[in-house]
Amino acid sequence: MVRYATQTDVQTREAVDMTKYCNLSTSYIPDVQHPNATPIRYVRVNFHIMQGANGEGNFNEVEGRRFVKELVEQSNIRWGSNQQMNLPVGNSTPVIPIPVRLVLQKDPITGDDAIYFHRDDTLGFWNRSLTKGPGSLSDRTVIDKYRTGGDSIINIFLMEHVPDSINSPTYGEAKLSGISFIHSVKIFSSYYQYTTVKYRDDGTPFTHDVFYLSKLLNHELGHCFNLNHTWNWDDGCDDTPKNPGCWRETGQSPCEGPISNNMMDYNWNQLAITPCQLGRMEQFFWKETGGARQFVIPYWCEYHPFDKVTVYRNETLEWNGGKDLWGDIEIREGASLTIRCIVSLPAQAKVIVKPGAKLIIDGGTLTNRCGDKFEGIEIWENKKTGEKGEVIISNNGTMENMVNIVEVQQ
Ligand SMILES: [Zn+2]
């Protein structure tokens, strides 16, 4: 027999404050055994290529469009290639796939890729000798003037160092660098690094390729997603050790190696992200406000029947952090799922509780975060033995925004 739960299916227990679970970033570390419990966050981005008034000093329209599309691809290859941490030496820090990808937006008017070219001598370049005002590192006037998409898109500005300064001996090298704002990123010197031939110590010529240049974009986006530098201060994570901040192994102290390969250190590699860092990012995407949720395409508001979370037979699963699921939850025979924070299901999705399985809402909330209603909780019952799925509510757990309502008396 299969039916929706009613009041008689629900048991209740006493109340304890459970908010601590929702507030811990470690509660949001993706579970590799249940990837559908932490679906990929698809982040909207667009690009602005800042040229001089004559259209020079940066990529032209043809090169710029090719470069940006390649940059997004390479960035996504990086998001898809998490590496074992180099530090601490001998570590066994888990390598968890990173559930983040970038999506280059389309211009709403033209339908073309959202890559914009602006000719602006005053705002278009970074002059390192300025500490404030237009042209300085942290200047926001360029962002305020050109960014589009309101708060729903991360606007990425590809800027160069002031052209005259590059040739000046006192300015120094036109280094690749960047800065993050809440909804925007400035990346400096991609064009210079991509087009200028440099020489290694042994005399070999080289230019930087797009894969290399994409690492700075991902590092800056890491800041947008709540990650801090790791090498010289507490970044809120125990699995990112402090280190001397070496760019590469030099064979000499303190960079004799191995050196960090973490995305949030400065090094040539930047491919490793730790579980704690992933937890911080996912929590930041999950937060209703004050995080990075508004940049993510809300696929959790559409029902995806093939992205179900299955709690396998006799498995005990505890969700201490919040979730934005894309499909159903199925709790199989003898298994239990405990929910301690807010778990959102899309409209049409349901929780299936099979005979002998338990859904325990322990201070958490089962809901829909899209202004819709999810379908409800389906109780499955063995028609011979009468064994059925159980729903247990404790610590003021709640169920809301559902089509098949369960009244719970606490
Ligand atoms: Zn940084």
Ligand 1 geometric centre to CA of 60 (Å): 28
Number of domains into which the chain is organized: 2
Residue with tokens 């914009």: 116
Are residues 126 and 264 located together in one domain of the fold?
yes
Quick check: is 155 in a domain? yes
Q: Give me the pLDDT at residue 9, please.
A: 75
For the residues 138-155, what does the mean pLDDT come to? 96
**% of the chain exceeding 70 in pLDDT:** 97
Ligand 1 geometric centre to CA of 179 (Å): 7
Ligand 1 geometric centre to CA of 128 (Å): 17
Q: Give me the pLDDT at residue 10, please.
A: 74
Ligand 1 geometric centre to CA of 86 (Å): 19
Are residues 191 and 330 located together in one domain of the fold?
no
Q: What is the band of 155 on the pLDDT scale with cuts at 50, 70, 90? A: very high
The parent domain of residue 394 ranges over: 2-26+31-38+302-399
Q: What is the band of 20 on the pLDDT scale with cuts at 50, 70, 90? A: confident
Quick check: is 281 in a domain? no
Helix pair 61-79, 210-224: axis angle to 10 deg: 70
Quick check: is 404 in a domain? no
Are residues 14 and 59 located together in one domain of the fold?
no
Give me the long-range contacts of 90-95 (CB less than 8 A, separation at least 24).
91/239, 93/239, 93/274, 93/275, 94/32, 94/275, 95/272
Ligand 1 geometric centre to CA of 220 (Å): 6
* Contact predicate 377/391, CB 8 Å: yes
Is the pLDDT score of 18 beyond 90? no
Q: What's the rounded Cα separation, in Å, for the pair 187 and 217? A: 7
Query: Considering all CA atoms of the chain, what is the largest pairwise distance in Å, rounded to the nearest integer?
Result: 87
Are residues 79 and 190 located together in one domain of the fold?
yes
φ, ψ for residue 221, nearest 5 deg: -65, -35
Quick check: is 234 in a domain? yes
Note the pLDDT tens digit of each residue in 330-367: 999 999 999 999 999 999 999 999 999 999 999 999 99
Q: What's the rounded Cα separation, in Å, for the pair 398 and 410? A: 10
CA 239 vs CA 222, 279, 298, 371: distances in Å: 16, 12, 30, 38
Ligand 1 geometric centre to CA of 195 (Å): 24
Residue with tokens 């125990």: 238
Ligand 1 geometric centre to CA of 265 (Å): 8
Ligand 1 geometric centre to CA of 156 (Å): 15
Domain-terminating residue out of 223, 252, 273 = 273
Ligand 1 geometric centre to CA of 380 (Å): 51
CA 376 vs CA 1, 10, 36, 100: distances in Å: 16, 13, 19, 29
Are residues 222 and 155 located together in one domain of the fold?
yes
Note the pLDDT tens digit of each residue in 358-389: 999 999 999 999 999 999 999 999 999 999 99
For position 219, which CATH number holds? 3.40.390
* Structural element, H or E, at residue 224: helix 210-224
φ, ψ for residue 397, nearest 5 deg: -60, 150
Q: What's the rounded Cα separation, in Å, for the pair 89 and 83? A: 14
For the residues 55-66, what does the mean pLDDT come to? 97
Q: What's the rounded Cα separation, in Å, for the pair 285 and 210? A: 27
Question: Does pTM surpass 0.75?
Answer: yes
Ligand 1 geometric centre to CA of 180 (Å): 8
Domain-terminating residue out of 229, 254, 273 = 273
Are residues 238 and 316 located together in one domain of the fold?
no
Quick check: is 279 in a domain? no
Ligand 1 geometric centre to CA of 219 (Å): 6
Are residues 113 and 237 located together in one domain of the fold?
yes
Quick check: is 227 in a domain? yes
| DSSP class of 253 | T
Ligand 1 geometric centre to CA of 107 (Å): 29
Ligand 1 geometric centre to CA of 217 (Å): 10
Q: What is the band of 170 on the pLDDT scale with cuts at 50, 70, 90? A: confident
Are residues 93 and 21 located together in one domain of the fold?
no
How many C-beta neighbours within 10 Å does residue 51 have?
Answer: 24
Ligand 1 geometric centre to CA of 42 (Å): 22
**% of the chain exceeding 90 in pLDDT:** 89
Ligand 1 geometric centre to CA of 384 (Å): 62
Are residues 152 and 8 located together in one domain of the fold?
no
Quick check: is 295 in a domain? no
Average per-residue pLDDT for the chain: 94
Quick check: is 259 in a domain? yes
Are residues 195 and 132 located together in one domain of the fold?
yes
Ligand 1 geometric centre to CA of 125 (Å): 20
Ligand 1 geometric centre to CA of 176 (Å): 12
Q: What's the rounded Cα separation, in Å, for the pair 299 and 327? A: 10
Are residues 265 and 226 located together in one domain of the fold?
yes
Ligand 1 geometric centre to CA of 349 (Å): 40
Are residues 131 and 261 located together in one domain of the fold?
yes
